[in-house]
Amino acid sequence: MTSQITLRRPDDWHLHLRDGNMLRAVLPSTATHFARAIIMPNLVPPVVTSADAAGYRDRILSALPEGSIFEPLMTLYLTEQTDPDDVAAAHASGLIKAVKLYPAGATTNSASGVSHFDSVRPTLERMAEIGLPLCVHGEVTDSDIDIFDREAVFIDRVLDPIRRTTPGLRVVMEHITTSNAVDYARSQDETLGATITTHHLVINRNHILAGGIKPHYYCLPVAKREEHRLALRDAATSGEARFFLGTDSAPHTDANKLLPCGCAGCFTAPNTMSILAQAFEEDGALDKLEGFTSLNGPAFYGLPVNKETITLTKGDPVTYPSHVETPDGPVTVFDPGFDLNWRVE
């Protein structure tokens, strides 16, 4: 029985670090285990220009604990006013690694997102030319579309048309939650990648809604039926290069989660690696964990894999603090609902 595994140091291909007090409180959780992360730009106001991204990167670097080595991979938030030249310059200088598409109103701080896809066409075409990936929050926002169907409808109405009209554009389907998304990803060539979160591998919609409402399991895209969770588990543990980890760790204070209209987001950064090891072991796929967390993402983004390694050891249940404290109040750490036996050394 395997009791220890050593992996290339993992990267997180979708992470929310926020800013200010929250940034300083949550960054160590990621920097302890991960070498790099794609940093989501949905601040208030959003990270729209290369100057915004440069400023945000500096704030992240100065919030890093002494001696920790972590590289934030910056993104720009695509708006209908985005200047393709600014995007190209930010890419050429190495400042940004992707551009993020939020359909307007789809999720937390997405009010500046895109409503008219024709207005961003020049930017998408430029990105295809220069090989800069587009990270996509894949949900339509139409009020007549059921929230559990928003991802599947987005694939048909928005994503597939973008793929057809912008050949060569590298696209990441982010935080996929349905078998429809898994099937679509598998139908596409190597210019399409898909990230899967830790929490969507271990919860389905019953965890949120059955036996009392559990705000800490509420995130967007919302967790779906069990059959979809199983499709995600199959994809993540398949070893296929198109699937890689994007935790979507999205901290909100408990005060902002536990409201009549609470925020969406699960804070999984502290215990993600232990949860993933447990899940991959359960599926007899520990040998596929390194590909998912450490190899497939760099290959998609054309970046080197990390030289350093991390080791996980199996033993007595590991406990993580239930909260991370911030000056604005506690942030609850995601509870997978089962024992974690894998400890990151």
> Binding residue for Zn ion (CB under 5 A) from 248, 298, 300, 312?
248
Give the whole-angstrom CA distance, residue 42 versus residue 53.
Answer: 11
Residue 281 binds Zn ion (CB under 5 A)? no
Which residue from 93, 120, 86 is spatially nearest to 104, judged by alpha carbons?
120
The closest of 264, 235, 236, 232 to 251, measured between CA atoms, is 264
| Stretch 72-91: interaction string toward ligand NCD, x if CB under 6 A | --------------------
d(CA 253, CA 249): 13
Taking the complex as a whole, how short is the minimal distance between the CB of residue 40 and Zn ion, in angstroms?
5
Q: Which is nearer to ligand NCD, 5 or 333 (CB)?
A: 333
Question: x/- contact string, 171-190, with ligand NCD (CB under 6 A)?
Answer: --------------------
Instruction: Note the Cα 232 to chain centre separation in Å.
Output: 14
**Which 251-310 residues touch ligand NCD, going by CB under 6 A?**
264-265
Nearest-approach distance from CB 248 to ligand NCD, in angstroms = 5
- Which residue in the shown chain puts its C-beta closest to Zn ion? 248
Nearer to ligand NCD, 92 or 258 (CB): 258
Determine if 71 is a binding residue for Zn ion (CB under 5 A). Answer: no
Q: Are 170 and 148 spatial neighbours (Cβ–Cβ below 8 Å)? A: no
The minimum distance between CB 15 and ligand NCD, in angstroms, equals: 10
Tell me, by CB under 6 A, how many residues bind ligand NCD.
11
What whole-number distance in Å separates Cα of residue 155 and Cα of residue 34? 30
Q: Does 151 bind Zn ion (CB under 5 A)?
A: no
Q: Which of 296, 295, 288, 272 is nearest to 344 (CA)?
A: 272
Q: Taking CB under 6 A as the rule, does residue 108 contact ligand NCD? A: yes
Is residue 215 within 8 Å of 265, Cβ to Cβ? no
What are the phi and psi torsion angles at 243 (to 5°)?
-105, 130
Name which of 16, 73, 41 is nearest 247 in CA terms: 16
Minimal distance, residue 137 CB to ligand NCD, in Å:
6
Please report, to the nearest 10 degrees, the dihedral formed by the alpha carbons of residues 176, 107, 47, 173 taken in order: 10
Q: Which does 108 bind (CB under 5 to 8 A by kind): ligand NCD, Zn ion, none?
A: ligand NCD
* Gyration radius of the chain's alpha carbons: 19
Question: Which span sits near Zn ion by CB under 5 A: 209-217, 247-255, 295-303, 331-339?
Answer: 247-255
User: Residue count at the site for Zn ion (CB under 5 A)?
Assistant: 1
Write out the DSSP string of 72-88. Answer: EEEEEE--TT--HHHHH
Mark whether 144 is an active-site residue: no
Name residue 6's beta-bridge partners: 311
Residues in the chain: 345
Q: Please report the beta strands in the chain, taking only residues with DSSP state E, as ranges in sequence order.
A: 4-8, 11-15, 36-39, 71-77, 96-101, 134-136, 171-173, 192-196, 243-245, 309-314, 323-324, 331-332, 342-344
Choose, by CB under 6 A, the member of 57, 137, 288, 314 that binds ligand NCD: 137
Minimum Å gap between C-beta 15 and Zn ion is 8
Binding mask 36-55 for ligand NCD (x = CB under 6 A): ------x-------------
Q: Give the 3-state secondary structure of residue 288.
A: helix
Catalytic residue among 52, 248, 287, 339: 248
Contact pick of 74, 99, 158, 219 for ligand NCD (by CB under 6 A): 219
Residue number, 292 or 334, with CB nearest to ligand NCD: 334
What is the pattern of x (binds ligand NCD, CB under 6 A) and - over residues 233-252? ---------------x-x--
220 contacts ligand NCD (rule: CB under 6 A): yes
Catalytic residues: 248
Binding site for ligand NCD (CB under 6 A): 16, 42, 107-108, 137, 219-220, 248, 250, 264-265
Q: Which residues bind Zn ion (CB under 5 A)?
A: 248
